[in-house]
Structure 1
Amino acid sequence: MTQSSQASPQRYWRSVLQHDVPASLVVFLVAVPLSLGIAVASGAPIAAGLVAAVVGGVVAGALGGSVVQVSGPAAGLSLVVAELVHTYGWRATCMITLLAGLLQLLLGAFRVAKAALGVSPAVVHGMLAGVGVVIALSQLHIVLGGKSQSSALENILELPSQIVNNHSHAVMVGILTIGILVVWARVPRLRVVPAPLAALIIAAMTAAVLGWDLTRVDLSGGFSSLESPLLPQGDWHAIAGAVVLVALLAGVESLLTCVASNRQHDGPRADLDRELAAQGVANVVSGALGGMPVSGVVVRTTTNVRAGARSRWSTVLHGVWVLLFTAAFAWMIALIPLEALAALLLFIGVQMVNLGHARNLRGHREMPIYFVTMTGVVVIGLAEGVALGLGLAALLALRRLAWISVVVRQAGDRWRIVVTGSLTFLGVPRLTESLAAIPPGTAVELDLNLDFMDHAAFETLHAWRLEHERGGGTIDIDEMHGEWYAAAVSGARMLPARTPPKHERFWLPWAYRRRVVDSARQADSLCAYDEMCETGPGLPGDAQAAPDLLEGTREFHRRTAPLVRPLLHRMARKQTPSHLFITCADSRVVPSIITASGPGDLFTVRNIGNLVPRASCTPPDDSVSAAVEYALKVLEVQTITVCGHSGCGAMSALLGEAPELPALRNWLRHGRQSLARFVASPEEDDDAGPLDRLCRVNVIQQLDNLESHPLVESLVRAGRLELTGLYFDIAAARVHVLDRGRFSAVPELRRG
């Protein structure tokens, strides 16, 4: 073993001792009081909450897909557990937990974890908020010295009498506990000790000193008091539903916590399927040992990250500390008043109603889902509330998918109709109403910006078009997004995956653009693009269909100007390009397309042959030199790029006889160095012919010509300017970077 390989484990264990061990102690101090409180709220044995904390830390922590997620008993499952305990008893509830774990393990094996993320966050947050309200209402009665009722509504109705009639020691210890929880978090120096632990310790010590008459936590027997699971008795349909409910709720909460934890640390990203399978194993073990259901917990995970955890050792060790503490210091837990635990749960329940989540959902118009889910959980029940939330989320998603906008405007004697969205039978009434406002015999421009159109919508639109044209009107149809109308007329099937986005039509040459005039022509136009790619645009009749320059500007004003106007307005007074781009005047080379650049990115110089006259040429040529000088001194560009292309006419003229064009022959003298370099260079082992090899050599020579200018040379030597050569293979539609040493194309650019 080398020295470097020996040093790596040493650094790893040093990091564990430095970061993970202290973090595990912090999480342990948070986990113990929360586990006790959740066990009380769930009607489970106190030791069952600690078992779940141990198993969640050791088993789920060691096997899980996240290195920082901490699992254990979760407040979000307390209502389900309480209902199961009330219906089947505790031992049967443990068996349901075990079976739910097996189901989670199966789902993880089939790698369906990501499907759980399809649940609307509004439903999840609404469910947690509803659970928080129910927990708060039930524990408030215990804090006030009374007993929790069987439902949230009964707790609300019973609350006034509890407030009026109960003023016992329970109220005093509850107020003390909540007061400490509120104040502790606001004093930075006190945050070294977790607020829940501090509140329970102070409440227990105060109650012991003042001799308050309170109910104590019963942990007699410790872990030995727990019993093995027992098959539940009753309707198997209901039992199977309970297993699925526990598995899904615990799984979804764990996966959402796992995803949230990814945003909180820079370590390895979480494996969701592995995490779900690990949660399944943890629930099998916890159920078999008589513990509560296990899931990922947001509070403990966040505490773990903030405490500086770097690996899964923090999670595992926190479970070990819980086990050792319970085995050695169970008598200390018995000193904690149940009323103090109830106050802690009341505080946690209020915190679960997170208004920050509600505000975030408002921007996405999902507040109704949140409040319907929360209200359903509080008034009806957990499963029913979640079902209501999922149903409302599905209805709202369907409504959004069927959203349609129909805008009708009149411009002189022409009418323009813009239809946007998904045009289905649900939007037919609105479409029909808008089309009825168009006077007969008028000229109409119909813009279809659709991502879907069903048969009912097409029939309505097509029938109106035929009727309008029979009345002497004209209709020009332009499909800005997908050719749904074209496909429907021809009877072809147009898949959404093949539909080009509306903003990607700008690259089509004028000769390839077309408008729909009648149904027959539209049916034929589906294959027109392929035909023109084979034969070229110069076919009989194409000149009439091709828009001219003025038509192109009109299309710019209609389509593109509204989109780019805000951007151009901001840069109207100043340009700050980062590149000087020197390329050929060839009409097939469009810099903004081959570099995916936009306004303000490239300061462009175009000439025949993408030539850069040397600084010492006679007579001097100031055109390119002026652009270089302005780009470097005024615009302060950082890169100069020379871009050549295949089949360059200027290079062809250098290889053969230049045409009888005096100005062109005079200009091509700046390419003689490229020709000489081409002749002197050995042939390359590629399929390129002499012309394309000269095109590439020419780019390298122009980079050398650039360095003949003193300003360029000084900036390159200082490391403040970079020179780059590109080569555009027109037939393959590929851009290559040129190696100045070998004059050969580097393989196609890829994402690194």
Structure 2
Amino acid sequence: MIRDTQSSVLRTLRHDLPASLVVFLVAVPLSLGIAMASGAPLAAGLIAAVVGGIVAGALGGSAVQVSGPATGLTLIVADLVQTYGWRATCMITLLAGAAQIVLGVFRVARAALAVSPAVVHGTLAGVGVVIALSQLHIVLGGSPQSSAVANIIELPAQIAAKHSHAVAVGVLTIAVLAIWSKLPRMIRTVPAPLAALLVAALAAWAFGWDVTRVDLSDSFTEWAFPVLPHGDWHRIVGAVLLVALLAGVESLMCSVTTDGMHEGPRADLDTELTGQGVANMVSGALGGLPVAGGIVRSTASVRSGGRTRWAPVLHGCWVLVFALGFGWSIQLIPMEALAALLVFLGVQMVNLGHVRKVHGHGEVPVYILTMGGVIVLGLAEGVLLGLALAALLALRRLTWVTINVRQEEDGHYHATISGSLTFLGVPRLTHELRQIPAGAGVDLDLNIDFMDNAAFEAIHSWRVDHERLGGTVDIDDIHDEWYAMAASGSRMFPAKTPLRAPDRWWLPWAHRRRRAPRPVVPAQGGPSGAECQLTAGAREFHRRTAPLVQPIFTELARRQQPSHLFITCADSRVVPSLITASGPGDLFTVRNIGNLVPRRGCEPNDDSVVAAIEYATQVLGVRTITVCGHSGCGAMAGLLSGGVQAGSLPGLRRWLRHGNHSLARFIDGESDGTDSGPLDRLCRVNVQQQLLNLRTYRRVDEQVLAGELELVGLYFDIGTARVHRLPSTLSVKT
């Protein structure tokens, strides 16, 4: 127990403490800037940073997320401050926190992930543009207008106006922020926002520039408890829910994003939402801004080595110490420098990486409409527009039907209908089907997950008409028996059924129920029967399985990251993906006669297996090497016969020499009662010997000893279709 405590303290001192200092340096200027853009007291930003770090960090469900003043709520808070006043805005923040706690208790956090990322990213981009436009006027020595549109209209006159020292401070701040990432790494250990504000402050002091400064000396002593807002209670309730939902979604999306940045425990979203609610109640009560998880702060923490919740908690403590003991130093920072920082951060919130991501899924219109709505109409209006368009696009995709009709060489037509068949797709469906000539034979595949009555009537009417004119129609329900059930008068359930692979895809060709093949007369010198079967199998894959697995292969096309090297026999009865329930990209597979691994430096020399082992362990970084043998192995039978069964196969006889160590081990050992005879025992012993052979390779042995690589032996009993894990003898190294 004491040792675990000491280890935890050492990890905190080594990783979380330095990360907390980096986040603290990032959080202070960000908090001040967000408070300034929100029209709130600057101290409110620091209070939110302290509460977000300590309270949300300690109670939240994410181990590494750092919370603080919510960037995405800047426009909402500014509007609330103008409408109800600052103390009433604090009460709205407190009530929003209570609403978040209720939502977390009822475990609805996952529902927030149903919001399209295009809406979230578009909202943040719109907020960034609005912030940048308003703060640009301050940088130019003027005052921001009441709306983004007004700021755009006023901007040319502001640029043409006579400028003061404020412009020099703003330009200098933006210049430092822009070039900071290109400086040497040693210099970049200081966060860019802090460096920019320090340079601006030093320049203003050195040149005696006339700038506006801030004083926090009395801000923390003038606290007063929040008051209830006065006005239409419907609008007040709406404001509370809007703050709760937007801050909650921002935090949960940040939690999901940060989960991909570290290897620690995954975030508990309901706990995170509850922790954010407590933090917002405390922040509102103390006079702070609304709190939410921040991707900038969280990313800085993870990249600086933060691993546990101690990093955000300590960062909050540092902000508190700074605010209470060194708040006077903030008066050295020009307000114009803070405005320039916000201009730069606002522009960065329009992230082109997010645009590329949503472009790949056809959601750029949602992103643009949401961003435009936030800029022109307001935050709530922009979010609602984005959600509405996202819902319309989702409905369109759910009801979109893909119809593919092609004529085959024998004159038959093959038609495939994929998607959800509803009344919305009937016009296109009937148009495509009626293009098939009368009297033609048609194979119609229905790869659908739903069919309503209108769609069934359209297909059935076309079938009746087509067959009446002398044609034939063979309908195959690939996904589910929607057509067959409707034709028999069975009750059709409204729910869509989940997609599944074609029935009994794992069976050998001879065991599958297939349509009676149409006669094919191969040309002279054409493909053999086996090749024709493979070609037919490929067509079946394209028709039935490819549409289901295409998204997976699209992702895998970039690179492979298998976790296992799987060495097994070439025996046709051993199907690695079937007996291990693995999928594309999981196994890096090597197959040979007898699942043999030649020992290092052995004769006859063979590099094919060695090359695969080197590539898997040194390039792909697999964590497990599995050798899988099987019952009734012909290679092991050849070893037992002393090579007699190899007969006139010289290549096979040479290859089986790599199994001599297995044979010697078999002769020296005795049955433990788990095998069904000498051949079965040799098949099992051979697997254990190949694991030892793997240890003759230095890099494999080093990784095993370091705990970076695991060697596993499996045995597939074909007769019982059972896979057994064999005991290891890796403690013996020869």
Work out the CA distance in 2 between the residues paired with 1:41 and 1:131.
Answer: 11
- 1:132 is matched by which residue type in structure 2? G
- How do 1:705-716 and structure 2 match up within 5 A? none
Work out the CA distance in 1 between the residues paired with 2:691 and 2:319.
Answer: 69
For this pair of structures, how many residues does the alignment match? Answer: 641
In 2, are the aligned partners of 1:84 and 1:93 still within 8 Å (CA)? yes
SS of match in other structure, 1:117: helix
Candidates 464, 484, 487, aligned match of 1:486:
484
Residue in structure 1 matched with residue 407 of structure 2 by the alignment: 410
Work out the CA distance in 2 between the residues paired with 1:205 and 1:618.
Answer: 88
TM-score with structure 2 setting the length = 0.79
1:44 to partner: Cα distance: 0.5
- How do 1:254-293 and structure 2 match up within 5 A? 254-293=251-290
Candidates 54, 79, 96, aligned match of 2:92:
96
In 1, are the aligned partners of 2:252 and 2:273 still within 8 Å (CA)? yes
Alpha carbons of structure 1 residues 639 and 78: separation in structure 2 relative to 1, 3 Å: farther
Candidates 621, 643, 646, aligned match of 2:645:
621
Candidates 162, 167, 188, aligned match of 1:166:
162
1:420 to partner: Cα distance: 1.8
The answer to whether the aligner puts 1:21 opposite 2:45 as a matched pair is no
- 1:579 is matched by which residue type in structure 2? T
Residue in structure 1 matched with residue 717 of structure 2 by the alignment: 727
CA offset digits 1:489-521 (Å, max 9, x no partner): 23154775576423853527656626599xxxx
- How do 1:175-324 and structure 2 match up within 5 A? 175-188=171-184, 189-324=186-321
Alpha carbons of structure 1 residues 407 and 630: separation in structure 2 relative to 1, 3 Å: farther
Residue in structure 2 matched with residue 76 of structure 1 by the alignment: 72
1:20 to partner: Cα distance: 2.1
Residue in structure 1 matched with residue 599 of structure 2 by the alignment: none
Work out the CA distance in 2 between the residues paired with 1:626 and 1:740.
Answer: 33
1:164 to partner: Cα distance: 0.7
Alpha carbons of structure 1 residues 290 and 6: separation in structure 2 relative to 1, 3 Å: same
SS of match in other structure, 2:403: strand
CA-based RMSD: 3.8
Alpha carbons of structure 1 residues 268 and 461: separation in structure 2 relative to 1, 3 Å: same
The farther-off stretch of 337-346 and 495-504 is 495-504
1:714 to partner: Cα distance: 10
In 2, are the aligned partners of 1:131 and 1:378 still within 8 Å (CA)? yes
TM-score with structure 1 setting the length = 0.77
SS of match in other structure, 2:144: coil
SS of match in other structure, 1:72: strand
Work out the CA distance in 2 between the residues paired with 1:222 and 1:366.
Answer: 45
Residue in structure 1 matched with residue 451 of structure 2 by the alignment: 453
Alpha carbons of structure 1 residues 413 and 66: separation in structure 2 relative to 1, 3 Å: closer
Residue in structure 2 matched with residue 654 of structure 1 by the alignment: none
The answer to whether the aligner puts 1:384 opposite 2:351 as a matched pair is no
SS of match in other structure, 1:457: helix
- 1:157 is matched by which residue type in structure 2? I
Work out the CA distance in 2 between the residues paired with 1:608 and 1:624.
Answer: 24
Residue in structure 2 matched with residue 507 of structure 1 by the alignment: 507
- How do 1:32-43 and structure 2 match up within 5 A? 32-43=28-39
Gap runs ≥5 in structure 2: 518-528, 554-564, 595-628, 701-710, 730-734
Candidates 696, 701, 719, aligned match of 2:681:
701
- 2:683 is matched by which residue type in structure 1? L
Alpha carbons of structure 1 residues 402 and 698: separation in structure 2 relative to 1, 3 Å: farther
Residue in structure 1 matched with residue 539 of structure 2 by the alignment: 558
The farther-off stretch of 181-190 and 714-723 is 714-723
CA offset digits 1:96-128 (Å, max 9, x no partner): 000000011111111221211111111111100
Work out the CA distance in 2 between the residues paired with 1:50 and 1:638.
Answer: 74
1:592 to partner: Cα distance: 7.1
In 2, are the aligned partners of 1:580 and 1:628 still within 8 Å (CA)? no
Residue in structure 1 matched with residue 556 of structure 2 by the alignment: none
SS of match in other structure, 2:420: strand
Residue in structure 1 matched with residue 418 of structure 2 by the alignment: 420
In 2, are the aligned partners of 1:638 and 1:722 still within 8 Å (CA)? no
Work out the CA distance in 2 between the residues paired with 1:639 and 1:145.
Answer: 85
Q: Percent identity?
A: 54
CA offset digits 1:182-232 (Å, max 9, x no partner): 222321232122222222222223223333222221424121223211111
1:735 to partner: Cα distance: 3.8
Work out the CA distance in 2 between the residues paired with 1:638 and 1:150.
Answer: 86
The farther-off stretch of 188-197 and 379-388 is 188-197
Residue in structure 2 matched with residue 335 of structure 1 by the alignment: 332
Residue in structure 2 matched with residue 652 of structure 1 by the alignment: none
Alpha carbons of structure 1 residues 630 and 123: separation in structure 2 relative to 1, 3 Å: farther
In 1, are the aligned partners of 2:713 and 2:726 still within 8 Å (CA)? no
- 2:537 is matched by which residue type in structure 1? F
- How do 1:148-167 and structure 2 match up within 5 A? 148-167=144-163
Alpha carbons of structure 1 residues 361 and 616: separation in structure 2 relative to 1, 3 Å: closer
Alpha carbons of structure 1 residues 498 and 87: separation in structure 2 relative to 1, 3 Å: closer
SS of match in other structure, 1:621: coil
1:444 to partner: Cα distance: 1.1
1:410 to partner: Cα distance: 2.0
- 2:448 is matched by which residue type in structure 1? L
Alpha carbons of structure 1 residues 713 and 227: separation in structure 2 relative to 1, 3 Å: closer
In 1, are the aligned partners of 2:215 and 2:328 still within 8 Å (CA)? no
Work out the CA distance in 2 between the residues paired with 1:638 and 1:222.
Answer: 84
Work out the CA distance in 1 between the residues paired with 2:262 and 2:728.
Answer: 43
Alpha carbons of structure 1 residues 209 and 498: separation in structure 2 relative to 1, 3 Å: closer
The answer to whether the aligner puts 1:65 opposite 2:61 as a matched pair is yes
- 1:58 is matched by which residue type in structure 2? I
Work out the CA distance in 2 between the residues paired with 1:159 and 1:499.
Answer: 54
1:253 to partner: Cα distance: 0.8
